[in-house]
Structure 1
Amino acid sequence: MNSAKEIKDSLNLFTGTEHYYQHPFGILYTDGVKFLADSCSCYWLIDAVANWQYDEKVKQTEFQVYKLKVNEDKSAILNIEDGNYNIIQTQEIDFTDFPLDEIEIWFTNNVCYLPSEH
């Protein structure tokens, strides 16, 4: 596994995507999100984005921002925002081995992507 710094540095290199990958629940995700999931063993984060599409408040939000913040005790908070810093929903995570302190993923038009890929 790469260090957190190496992963962050690599994530910044994604400025578009060549491939779209389909999640079993029908959403798509980009090369950058696939790299994140592979590097951090966090396909569960893509699962969370896909699952939140079944929530009416989230589903009605055209542009969604997923902000994962890991606490020192390895618990985490996943906030779903509307792109204007308004929190739509919050998911508490009791434990995660996610190696980064935080990450932000965007979702619109049924595609999950890194901000640098916009």
Structure 2
Amino acid sequence: MNIKAKKISEELKHFTGSETFYTLQLFNARYTEGVQYLVDKAGCFWLVIDICAVCVSPLNPHSFACITLNLWNEQEQKEKGCVATLTYDDGNGNVFYTANYAYTDFPLPHIKFYFTDRTLLLPSEY
């Protein structure tokens, strides 16, 4: 993990709960301060859009979703045919949607989010 990724990862640990919510009107959804910090530091608003698009759609039959982004190493990329995978499950490991990405500049090797009550948040903010 590079220096930028280590700093972001360490800073994300400080987000517990949230007093401020950011609105994503396109999906009638919102996200927390921790997610906004990640957007600012990692330049990943695309990730928020992708997650909310799936979580508010009929693809998500659940009131709660656990979303995990994994970036793959070179060997895994060859095996999987993509550089990253975004997996959506019901919180009990039952996957209901998966998206593969051919390219991403996301700095962290993996990250997890929760989506509940039309709100995207970090697990530490749940």
Instruction: Answer yes or no: same fold by TM over 0.5.
Output: yes
2:5 partner letter: A
Inter-partner Cα distance in structure 1 for 2:114 and 2:96: 14
State the number of aligned residues.
Answer: 116
Which residue in 1 is equivalent to 2:77? none
Moved over 6 A (4+): none
Which residue in 2 is equivalent to 1:61? 62
- TM-score w.r.t. length of structure 1: 0.92
Which residue in 2 is equivalent to 1:39? 41
2:11 partner letter: S
Inter-partner Cα distance in structure 1 for 2:92 and 2:99: 19
Inter-partner Cα distance in structure 2 for 1:106 and 1:34: 14
- TM-score w.r.t. length of structure 2: 0.86
Task: Name the structure where helix makes up a greater proportion of residues.
Answer: 2
Q: CA RMSD in A?
A: 1.4
Name structure 2 gaps, 5 residues minimum.
75-81
Structure with greater Cα Rg: 2
Name structure 1 gaps, 5 residues minimum.
none
2:103 partner letter: F
SS for the counterpart of 1:61 is coil
Inter-partner Cα distance in structure 2 for 1:19 and 1:30: 6
Q: By how many angstroms is 1:54 displaced?
A: 4.9
Which residue in 1 is equivalent to 2:78? none
Matched, 1:99 2:84: no
User: What fraction of aligned residue pairs are identical, expressed as a percent?
Assistant: 34
SS for the counterpart of 1:3 is helix
For residues 25-36 of structure 1, what are the structure 2 equivalents within 5 Å?
25=26, 26-36=28-38
